[in-house]
Structure 1
Amino acid sequence: MENLDKLKIVIALLLVVLGVSGYYVMPVGDSMKWVRVFSVVFGVVGGGGVLLFSTPGKEFLVYARESYREAQKVVWPSRKEVWQITGFVFLFVLVLAVFMLTVDKSLEWLLYEQLLGRAR
């Protein structure tokens, strides 16, 4: 990464830090609330804008576009398939819960009542 890109990243981080710190430095009150919020928005948007003009920012934009294109290629399940899979998951969780309860109560009975000879 070249020095100009490093400088752009530092400037972007400073804008974000200044925007967020401006929110906490300004006086609290209903009349100043929009100024405080604008300070944060300006810092984040300004920092993002500066960052997008750096090499890592441009690489991120290319990555984001490619990711969006790949997400469009995904074949999503139909509503019926989603309900079937969801039903299967709920059924499996129910069966597992009953199994765990059975094991827990069996071990409790074995340990407390049979081996130790005391009931709870």
Structure 2
Amino acid sequence: MKAKAEAQPARLDGLKWALVVLLVSAAVLGNMYFSDTPLLYRVVGVVVFIALAAGVFLLTTKGQRFLVMAREARTEIRKVIWPTRPETTQTTLIVLAAVALVALLLWLIDSLLSWIIQSLIY
């Protein structure tokens, strides 16, 4: 009995996925077909169709797993200890100094190699 209960959503998932593909296709094809219509109306139509497709997607098994993953990610983001403003400023200045130093070294090496090659050619 449990196997039938698990098999049923998989079959319905196929129909839901077909509906998602149909809605996205309708949004794209409708946007192309009504190219003479003002842009605002076309954008509203595409957004409505994509929102409907997203709603149907969230009803699928993968959509449900996506929602669970999004909730877990939100919980993990809340646990992060973000750096303070002075820490961020200090780190940014260190990175900028390191980039400037490497750029200067690369310029010096390039100039030296250029001078060596020029002296060999002439």
TM-score range, shorter chain: 0.7 to 0.9
Q: After the TM superposition, which segments of 4 or more aligned residues of structure 1 sit over 4 Å from their partners?
A: none
% identical aligned pairs: 35
1:58 alignment partner in structure 2 = 64
1:89 alignment partner in structure 2 = 95
What stretches of structure 1 of length at least 5 have no aligned partner?
A: none
The size of the alignment, in residue pairs, is 114
Matched, 1:98 2:108: no
Q: TM-score, normalised by structure 2?
A: 0.85
Show the 5 A alignment for 1:39-78.
39-78=45-84
Correspondent of 1:109 among 107, 111, 115 = 115
- CA-atom RMSD, angstroms? 1.5
What stretches of structure 2 of length at least 5 have no aligned partner?
A: 1-8
Q: TM-score, normalised by structure 1?
A: 0.87
